[in-house]
Amino acid sequence: MLYQITDGTVSLGGHTVLSHLDFWIKGTEKIAVVGRNGAGKTTLLRLIAGELQPDRDDRRKGPAVRTSRRLSIGMLSQQAFADTGITVEEELQKAVPPKDIFERSRFDYEREYDILFTGFGFTREDKKKRIGQFSGGEQTRIALIRLLLQRPDILLLDEPTNHLDTKATEWLEGYLSRYKKAVVMVSHDRFFLDQVAEEVWELEGKRAVRYPGNYTWYRQEKAKRAALARKAWEHQRQEAQRLEKVIERFKHKPTKASFARAKKKQLERMETPPLPPKDHARLFAGAIDPLVMGGRMVLEAEHVKIGYGKTLLELSFRIRRGQKIGLLGENGVGKSTFLKTVAGLLPVLGGKLALGRNVTVGYFDQHSAQIQSQKSVLEHFLDCFPALPEKEARSILGAYLFGGKEAARRVSDLSGGEKARLVLAELLQARPNFLVLDEPTNHMDIPAKETLESAFRAYTGTILFVSHDRYFIRQVAESVLIFEDGQAFYYPFGYGHYLKRRQAAKEGGPAAQVQAEDEALIASLRAVPRAERHRVREISTKEAYEDWRLRPVREQMEEAAERYGRKQGEAAEAWKRWKESSRFWELAAGGEAGLPEPEKGHVCLEKETQEAWEAWHECCMQWLDAWEEALEDPLERKNS
């Protein structure tokens, strides 16, 4: 056991924050500490760092804190620059190990220094700048670099991803995962916790509960434990009610009086298990359907140019009914501009943009949540939906965490995140069939985010959205559209799958992105012909006709897909053999820039793989055309 707290209690200002807490760190564990605001997360970090001491307790045997040896502990919030007039290099060189420049440890320090500095988005020239020239967020990053260079045995991080962009956050995730010592972190970035944490400690009721696994596993396991605890509580309550009925039935009968007294004692000895606390997030069990289904094609963009006077991006793209697409890209590439253009708030600079038949758009951005009203949340909601009964309105608001007293609060008194949640509740209750959302969960706490994630998953309409919350993207988006280098790329699967393929592409694997013009291919993969689905009912004449029309092109598509998969596997295996060959390492040791180029045979395999992809793509497009023609209503085609 590297570090252990046993029966520890911490009080601040006469208020008990942590009570009889048990907590431990083993070896090189990566631990996430979670809990609601005010639960004591930062207090726990300060206790581990030695800034706070546990309360004295005469009943406790032995010390509250034990360590296996003398430990070095570093905490991010402890870092502050006493002198902002010196340069970054002067500050970071203070901790350089020996003064002999030929020492190996000094070389390792300098190398790590460069890796960390560039990994957090700084340039080598920034080393010469004075600390005071950097913004507060940049100074926090420099403080984090200084802490990481110290390589403490226990690294304590309080919101380490604040002031980091997505690229720097992803880099930090990889670095911490490889860090060879223990890490204890507090963060509201759930995706970050998923990538780094190996176990989660939740602070609730002034105590800590351990969950082995990452954040997603913790949420699933907590729900299972809560369900079991509630079942045990209900079973005990039913047993108590049964005993009470037995006692009431027999207590006045002389021949059964002793029996009734025995049951009464049994009831008194029965321990009542605690009722598990309700989860602060709400989950939507049923579907949220739009009022009008709308046409099969929601949006068609042909060579559309977007921007404010100057073209930021040109793309051709189609969105089909029911798709949930997340937009990815650096700041300033045109994501919000594209959403405004789709919603009709900005004109296109060129090309053609058309909404589908009977498509109703619900648009949300941060300005949408700037509502001011002296009315209560319930009154404001009823003004939006006057035909709604008050009881039903309260039920709907409760599903979006505005139950009980929350519904009586004035709208003007709500925080920014709460106002956004209220507007999104109104938007989902209005039931448009196409939601266009720009940063819908900004400034929201985790229960609010998880509630809306559940609502958007339950929503059966179409969603196009931008978010910097990667966990939210992963939970909601079924595919992603990437804006990069003035181009748009479409990836047909979820965000987690996209990250894995992107990493594979960096390591020499197949390309992870598909041009937006090829989006039609993806529809063919999602829309499996009805006749292929497993079912026991009789196939209708229409379905049989569709199957007959689609079978030839479907067989071609399957053959092409099989060949592409085979070639892809052969190319990957050849590339692996090449990297393991002695020739590869001979070239690598020769000081060549980058990885050595593969030999001629490997290049041919890559070319064959690309040709197989193109053939598969062509077959998929042919299948899609045949499928759309088979499904199209003859009367609709006649009237168009």
Residue 507 Cα distances to 114, 221, 500, 502, 511, angstroms? 22, 34, 11, 9, 10
Q: Work out whether strand 15-25 and strand 3-12 pair parallel, antiparallel, or are unpaired.
A: antiparallel
Same domain, 490 and 345: yes
Same domain, 253 and 182: no
**Beta carbons within 10 angstroms of residue 243's beta carbon:** 17
Range of the domain at 245: 227-269
Q: Using CB atoms within 10 A of its CB, is residue 233 exposed (0-12), middle (13-18) or buried (19+)?
A: middle
Give me the phi and psi of 199, to 5 degrees please. Answer: -155, 155
Q: CA–CA separation, 509 vs 183, rounded Å?
A: 32
Q: Which of 500, 525, 550 is the last residue of a domain?
A: 525
Note the pLDDT tens digit of each residue in 223-245.
898 888 888 888 888 888 898 89
Q: Which of 479, 502, 525 is the last residue of a domain?
A: 525
Structural domain includes residue 61: yes
Residue 549, pLDDT above cutoff 70 = no
- pLDDT, residue 514, reads 54
Confidence grade of residue 281 (pLDDT, cut at 50, 70, 90): confident
Same domain, 255 and 196: no
Structural domain includes residue 276: no
Same domain, 460 and 477: yes
Average pLDDT of span 522-534 = 45
Asked whether 312 and 348 are in contact (CB, 8 A), the reply is no
Same domain, 159 and 178: yes
Whether pTM exceeds 0.85 = no
Same domain, 552 and 475: no
Confidence grade of residue 106 (pLDDT, cut at 50, 70, 90): confident
Give me the phi and psi of 315, to 5 degrees please. Answer: -150, 155
The domain tally of the chain equals 4
Q: What long-range pairs does 546-550 form, CB within 8 A, spacing at least 24?
A: 546/627, 546/630, 546/631, 549/626, 549/629, 549/630, 550/623, 550/626, 550/627, 550/630
Q: Quote the mean pLDDT of the chain.
A: 83
Asked whether 510 and 568 are in contact (CB, 8 A), the reply is yes
Structural domain includes residue 287: no
Average pLDDT of span 172-187 = 93
With a pLDDT cut of 70, the percent of the chain lying above it is: 85
Record the tokens describing residue 455, joined without a space: 């609502």
Confidence grade of residue 418 (pLDDT, cut at 50, 70, 90): very high
Same domain, 58 and 186: yes
- Closest listed residue to residue 170, CA positions, set 613, 446, 502: 502
- pLDDT, residue 638, reads 40
Q: CA–CA separation, 513 vs 2, rounded Å?
A: 44
Give me the phi and psi of 120, to 5 degrees please. Answer: -90, 15
67: which strand partners?
A: 3
Q: Which of 219, 244, 279 is the last residue of a domain?
A: 219
Structural domain includes residue 553: yes
Average pLDDT of span 151-164 = 90
Structural domain includes residue 609: yes
Same domain, 461 and 322: yes
Residue 533, pLDDT above cutoff 60 = no
Sheet order of strands, 350-355 included = 310-320, 297-308, 350-355
Same domain, 347 and 380: yes
Structural domain includes residue 123: yes
- pLDDT, residue 593, reads 45
Confidence grade of residue 628 (pLDDT, cut at 50, 70, 90): low
Same domain, 512 and 551: no
Note the pLDDT tens digit of each residue in 127-155.
889 988 888 888 888 888 889 988 999 99
Note the pLDDT tens digit of each residue in 305-343.
999 888 888 888 899 999 999 999 988 889 999 999 999
Structural domain includes residue 486: yes
- Closest listed residue to residue 598, CA positions, set 572, 580, 578, 581: 578
Residue 82, pLDDT above cutoff 90 = no
With a pLDDT cut of 90, the percent of the chain lying above it is: 41
Structural domain includes residue 232: yes
- Closest listed residue to residue 145, CA positions, set 223, 74, 206, 61: 74
Same domain, 509 and 543: no
- pLDDT, residue 632, reads 57
Same domain, 361 and 240: no
CATH of the domain at 513: 3.40.50.300
- Closest listed residue to residue 317, CA positions, set 512, 477, 490, 513: 490
Q: CA–CA separation, 421 vs 602, rounded Å?
A: 54
